[in-house]
Amino acid sequence: MEGSILELLEQHGSLGYEQIATLLGKPPDAVQSALRDLQDSGFVDAITVGKLEGAPTTAAAYWRLTDKGRARSCPGGAAGGVGARSAPRLIRQFA
């Protein structure tokens, strides 16, 4: 699922976890878990949009690729990814 998430973020720029879940047809909690794993690996980061109002918030989190994530989603591309020879192995690892 992680590879699919990286592809979606490459295509759309930034998305909320619920948008990603809908596009992939996966449970939102599974997508959140995958996003946290990708964040821990340095492939994505979260951005917050909105304002905080006391304890409850109207802020929304969106996920986007980091430079490392862009290199990962486009192996061998201008972003400095790995060579094409390694791409199938990496895609299988995160599929």
Q: Phi then psi for 49, rounded to 5 degrees? A: -120, 135
* Residue 15 pLDDT > 90: yes
Q: Domains in the chain and their CATH numbers?
A: 2-94 (1.10.10.10)
pTM for this predicted structure: 0.69
What is the pLDDT, as a whole number, of residue 19? Answer: 95
CA distances from 46 to 40, 42, 49, 66, 92 (A): 11, 11, 10, 10, 25
In this prediction, residue 82 carries a pLDDT of: 35
For residue range 21-63, list pLDDT tens digits in order: 999 999 999 999 999 999 999 999 998 877 656 655 555 689 9
Average model confidence (pLDDT) across the chain: 77
Report which residue type is found at 30. Answer: A
CA distance 83 to 95: 18
